Structure formats: structure tokens, C-alpha cells
């Protein structure tokens, strides 16, 4: 018996020895052996907010290649490069749930407006998407843009994107608008059975190649011509590949709750999850409806429908100026719209409807949701001759031109070939805060990447440069609407889980090294509606796939971004 007991003790001791050695390999701080690994980069002494919503803790983050390989206190670990994170929050890279950078990244991959607010990944594809490519463009990515390279499918676009070397990662939905336009043009009618089958095939192809799901911009032509049943049938195709249904819903004002129910019904009918883009209650008469909107979503979630939403933290929206024009006038596309604006009879009808006596609906009348024409600010324009109007209110433009507001609106759209963007001051802070408190609301800035140092005068919505820092500054630090940990979860783990990015969104060993380090005491947006092109402050370091794209508050010029497919990244470098 003594021999057996001795043998058993030796065996147990050996087993514990193996476990201890394994623990040293997994936790480098436990060993100072000569064979201890040397990391590529070590972030030391940060306040880690890991993205899960758990309380922060003090620790280090070790990176090798494009991955996080260890997290914890590692006082004796070695690395080729070190970042001192004392006084900084170390968070997962922020994920923009609604951007529009699919083409901007091909023209200027630096993505300065994104990385300087901590964004490392973006999901795009709302009203239109990079696929399918309309035959009328000859396979060119963006109609009328000679700088856009050619591709035929999503795989092709992803190859072009990675060849452009963007600073951020990017994934996309496939949109009903682009699918409809590829098959039916801008026709204001239901598809034939043959057209429907072609559209389903295009959705299936995009899903096989990594699209996040199906998306709709329900107030924009040609998607606005699609019925609930049509969209549901297309969403079923996305659902078969694990994708979801995302929507800029059919109304964000008078019929907000009804539009939310439509989106929920589409997802429920398709058997998949639902993402409601830029959740808001637009128009002064609709202020306070956010509570009804939230109740509708909570009710659906209670019965098992997976519904979530995103928002941006500003009391003004931004979209095209031609969104004011009633839906019927958009049938046939931009050229048809411009023809109607020139036609005296059509123009007279539009004048009557926009004046309030027609059947356009209050969502369409000039600036109604924003309190009138003074609540509409001209933002970006396409024609150089119109840049003098950027930053002016619509009534001010009319006064400067010596016209009635409705005529100034029509003539501005004609002169700019309907490329004019506008900002609508139409939301309340109380509704924004109520939406932000909901645990299923993430952040989508609804703006593409911009250069900040461009020589072309621009006047975008300030959300393009400051959305994420604004939340950290005004809604976390100053107003205490949400906690720091919850804000970071909304920026990272929540959107990553929504679109199936299993290896991003959390500070944990094995995840891609997308990280944002910021000073919680100084981080803030600086852009205003009057002066929007100002980068945020307090974002100290940003890493994309293990490579610093912002270091010590300065853009490095590195462009390590990748294409994202549902479920992970495309390829590895």
C-alpha cells in the first residue's frame, strides 16, 4: 500500500506539473523562462472595458500578428512594441452599424473621419448596395463614377476593396433597392413572377458570398414601390443563409409605430432577426412616440422575435433634399424626377401637394417635420456653383435667390441633378435619450468615410466625425444617460453579435486585435452643424487587425482593413 500511495502521489504531482506549465504558456506573466514569447505589441496598464458590459478591470493586452493572444496583468511580459495605456480605457474597436463607405473607401482608404472617432469596422448597404450591379453601368460599381473599379459580384467588390487597402474593415447588406433596380429599373409596380425569381437569385448570390442579410430603405424609390409581401419573400432567401433583415423603415414620423410593426412582421414572416436603422421619432407632432416605438419592439422581443435597432446621437437627421418630393414623382429614377420638375403640369401638382392641400402627406411637405423650411439646412452639393448654399437654411436660400421656397427647392434640385444633401432638425433630446437607454440599441452614424483634410469644401452632418465620442462625452460623462460599460457594449459586442462577427467586438484572447483606446475624461466630439468638419478629441490609439491606424492621437497612414463576411473576415494577411 505505501508503494501504491507513493506512486499515486507522484502521478498526481506530475499531472499538476503539466497543468502548471500549460498555465504558464497561456499566461506569460506566470513565467520568466527564456522561452517566454515576445509579443508584437503590448498595451500596458489600461482600464479594460471588454465590450461585454462587465465592469472595467486593470490589465494588459498582448497582440501577435492580427490577434489578441493574452489579456491580464503581465508585468514581466516582453514585446517588440509597447503602448502605455495608463489613464486610458482599452475597448474593442467601435463598430458602425450603418455607414456608407463602400465607395468612399475606394477613393480614399484612410477613413479619417471614422478612425479618429474610434471606428474600426463598418457595416453598410442601406438604401443601395454594391451588388447587384445594374447592367446599365457595364459592370461598373457606382453609376456615373469613373473612379470606381469594375466588379460583377460581391466577391469581386471585396477584392477591389482589399486592393484599395482601407484603414477600416467593411461588410455589407444586399439591398432591395439595388436588387429591384437591377431587375426592374425604377418601375413603380409589383414584380412579375419571373422578375421575382431573378431577384431571389441575386439575393442568394450575395448571401453565398458573405452579405450580412437583406436591407431596405423603405422611404426611397425604388424600394418604396415594394410591398410588404415582396420584401418578406426576399428576406426569406437571406434567412436561409443565416442573414437577417435590416430596414430604414417606411415612416419615422406620423406612422412610426405602424412602420415598426411592418419591419417586425417582415422579419417574423421570414423567420429571421430584424435590425431597425436609425431609430427615431421625427417631427415635432411625433415627439414622445419613442416610448411607443420601444414598447412595440419590446413586445415583439417578449414573444420571441429577435429585434434590435441602431441610432445616432443628434437631434437632426440627414438625407437627400429630394426626400421632400412625394413618392410618385420618383418613379422612373432621377432623370424622370428631373423631367417632372421641369414639366409645368407636374410642377404645379407638386407645388399644390407641398403647399399642404394635396395628398402628399405631412411627411413630405417642405420642412414640416423640422418646423418649416428654416429647419432644413443644405449640406453637401454636387455642383461647385451651389457650394455657396452649403450651411444655409432652405428659407435663406430662397431669400437669396429671390424665390418662393417651393421654387427654390425645385430649381436647386434641378441645378444639382438631385444630388443635394440636407439636414432636418426634427427630433427631441428626450426621445434620443430614451432610445439610447434600451439594451438592444447600437450605434450607426449613417455617414460614409471622409477625409477631413480634403481641399473640396464640404458641409456634412456632424455625425460623420463625432457620433461615438459624442455619446461618451455627453451621454456617459456629462448626462449619465448610460454607463461607460454599456456604451462600449453598444459600440462593440452588440453590433458584432447582430451581424455574426464572432471574432470581433470583445477584448479577449483569440479575437482580432481591433482596439480603441481613449481618455474617458476628455473624449468628445467637436463638430457642430455650422462647422461639422472637425475630428473628435480624446481618441488616443486605434488598432485595426493589430496595426495602429491612430497613435498618440495622430493618424498613422496605415491601412490594414479587410472585407468582412457574415461570420468573420475575408482571408488573412
Q: From CA 260, how far away is CA 252, in angstroms rounded? A: 9
pLDDT score, position 15: 40
Q: How confident is the model at residue 37 (pLDDT cuts 50, 70, 90)?
A: confident
Between 86-90, 292-296, 314-318, 456-460, the lowest mean confidence (pLDDT) is in 456-460
Between 97-111, 179-193, 269-283, 380-394, the lowest mean confidence (pLDDT) is in 380-394
With 0.85 as the threshold, say if the pTM is over it: yes
Domain ranges in the chain are: 1-36, 320-424
**Cis ω on the peptide bond leading into residue 387 (within 30° of 0)?**
no
Cα 430 vs. chain centroid, distance in angstroms?
Answer: 23
Any bridge partners for residue 551, and if so which? 554
Cα 243 vs. chain centroid, distance in angstroms?
Answer: 17
Mean of pLDDT over the chain: 89
Q: From CA 459, how far away is CA 465, in angstroms rounded? A: 11
**Residues 410-420: b if buried by 16+ CB within 10 A, e if exposed:** bebbebbebbb
Instruction: Sort strands 57-64 and 67-72 into parallel, antiparallel or unpaired.
Output: antiparallel
For 308, phi and psi rounded to 5 degrees? -140, 180
pLDDT score, position 27: 43
The larger pLDDT score, comparing residue 114 to residue 368, is at 114
- Residue (of 549, 566, 554, 565) closest to 165 by Cα position: 549
Q: How confident is the model at residue 354 (pLDDT cuts 50, 70, 90)?
A: confident
pLDDT score, position 135: 66
SS3 state of residue 513: coil
Between 109-118, 205-214, 306-315, 394-403, the lowest mean confidence (pLDDT) is in 394-403
Mean pLDDT of 472-492: 98
Beta strands in 404-538, from DSSP E residues, in sequence order: 421-424, 441-443, 515-518
Task: Give pLDDT tens digits for 513-532.
Answer: 999 999 999 999 999 999 99
pLDDT score, position 136: 58
Task: Give pLDDT tens digits for 319-330.
Answer: 889 988 988 999
pLDDT score, position 202: 98
Q: Are residues 460 and 533 in contact, defined by beta-carbon separation less than 8 angstroms?
A: yes
**Within a 10 A sphere around the Cβ of 72, how many other Cβ atoms?**
18
What are the counts of helices (DSSP H) followed by strands (DSSP E) for the chain? 17, 25
Cα 230 vs. chain centroid, distance in angstroms?
Answer: 25
Between 52-61, 360-369, 493-502, the lowest mean confidence (pLDDT) is in 360-369
The larger pLDDT score, comparing residue 141 to residue 500, is at 500
Q: From CA 263, how far away is CA 267, in angstroms rounded? A: 6
Amino acid at each position: 500500500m505505501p508503494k501504491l500511495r507513493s506512486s499515486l502521489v507522484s502521478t498526481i504531482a506530475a499531472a499538476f506539473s503539466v497543468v502548471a506549465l500549460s498555465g504558464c504558456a497561456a499566461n506569460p506573466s506566470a513565467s520568466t523562462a527564456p522561452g517566454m514569447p515576445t509579443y508584437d505589441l503590448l498595451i500596458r496598464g489600461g482600464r479594460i472595458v471588454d465590450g461585454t458590459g462587465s465592469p472595467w478591470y486593470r490589465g494588459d493586452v498582448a497582440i501577435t500578428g492580427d490577434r489578441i493572444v493574452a489579456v491580464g496583468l503581465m508585468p514581466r511580459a516582453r514585446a517588440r512594441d509597447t503602448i502605455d495605456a495608463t489613464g486610458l480605457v482599452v475597448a474593442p474597436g467601435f463598430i458602425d452599424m450603418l455607414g456608407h463607405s463602400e465607395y468612399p473607401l475606394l477613393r480614399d482608404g484612410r477613413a479619417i473621419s471614422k478612425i479618429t472617432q474610434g471606428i474600426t469596422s463598418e457595416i453598410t448597404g442601406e438604401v443601395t448596395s454594391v451588388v447587384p450591379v445594374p447592367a446599365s453601368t457595364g459592370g461598373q460599381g457606382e453609376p456615373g463614377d469613373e473612379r470606381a473599379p469594375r466588379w460583377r459580384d460581391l466577391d469581386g467588390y471585396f477584392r477591389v476593396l482589399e486592393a484599395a487597402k482601407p484603414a477600416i474593415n467593411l461588410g455589407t447588406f444586399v439591398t432591395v433597392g439595388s436588387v429591384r433596380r437591377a431587375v426592374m429599373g425604377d418601375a413603380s409596380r409589383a414584380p412579375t413572377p419571373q422578375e421575382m425569381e431573378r431577384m431571389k437569385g441575386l439575393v442568394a448570390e450575395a448571401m453565398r458570398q458573405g452579405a450580412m442579410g437583406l436591407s431596405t430603405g423603405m422611404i426611397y424609390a425604388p424600394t418604396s414601390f415594394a410591398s410588404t409581401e415582396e420584401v418578406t419573400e426576399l428576406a426569406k432567401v437571406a434567412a436561409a443563409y443565416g442573414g437577417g433583415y435590416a430596414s430604414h423603415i417606411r415612416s419615422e414620423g406620423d406612422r412610426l409605430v405602424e412602420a415598426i410593426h411592418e419591419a417586425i412582421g417582415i422579419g417574423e414572416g421570414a423567420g429571421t432577426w430584424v435590425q431597425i436603422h436609425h431609430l427615431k421619432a421625427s417631427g415635432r407632432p411625433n415627439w414622445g412616440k419613442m416610448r411607443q416605438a420601444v414598447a412595440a419592439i419590446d413586445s415583439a422581443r417578449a414573444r420571441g422575435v429577435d429585434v434590435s435597432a441602431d441610432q445616432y446621437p443628434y437631434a437632426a437627421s440627414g438625407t437627400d433634399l429630394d426626400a421632400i418630393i412625394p413618392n410618385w414623382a420618383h418613379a422612373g429614377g432621377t432623370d424622370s424626377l428631373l423631367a417632372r420638375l421641369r414639366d409645368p403640369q407636374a410642377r404645379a401638382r407638386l407645388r399644390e401637394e407641398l403647399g399642404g392641400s394635396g395628398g402628399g402627406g405631412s411627411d413630405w411637405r417642405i420642412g414640416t417635420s423640422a418646423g418649416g423650411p428654416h429647419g432644413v439646412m443644405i449640406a453637401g452639393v454636387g455642383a461647385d456653383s451651389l457650394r455657396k448654399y452649403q450651411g444655409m437654411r432652405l428659407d435663406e436660400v430662397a431669400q437669396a435667390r429671390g424665390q418662393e421656397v417651393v421654387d427654390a427647392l425645385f430649381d436647386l434640385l434641378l441645378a444639382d441633378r438631385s444630388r443635394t444633401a440636407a439636414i432636418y432638425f426634427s427630433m427631441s433630446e428626450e426621445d434620443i435619450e430614451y432610445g439610447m437607454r434600451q439594451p438592444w440599441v447600437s450605434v450607426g452614424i449613417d455617414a460614409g468615410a471622409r477625409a477631413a483634410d480634403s481641399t473640396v469644401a464640404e458641409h456634412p452632418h456632424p455625425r460623420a466625425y463625432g457620433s461615438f465620442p459624442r455619446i461618451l462625452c455627453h451621454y456617459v460623462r456629462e448626462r449619465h444617460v448610460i454607463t461607460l460599460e454599456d456604451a462600449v457594449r453598444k459600440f462593440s459586442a452588440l453590433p458584432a453579435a447582430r451581424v455574426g462577427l464572432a471574432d470581433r467586438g470583445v477584448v479577449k484572447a483569440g479575437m482580432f486585435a481591433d482596439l480603441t483606446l481613449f481618455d474617458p475624461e476628455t473624449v468628445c466630439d467637436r463638430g457642430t452643424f455650422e462647422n461639422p468638419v472637425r475630428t473628435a478629441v480624446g481618441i488616443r490609439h486605434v488598432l485595426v487587425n493589430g496595426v495602429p491606424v491612430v497613435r498618440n492621437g495622430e493618424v498613422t497612414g496605415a491601412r490594414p482593413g479587410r472585407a468582412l463576411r457574415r461570420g468573420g473576415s475575408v482571408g488573412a494577411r
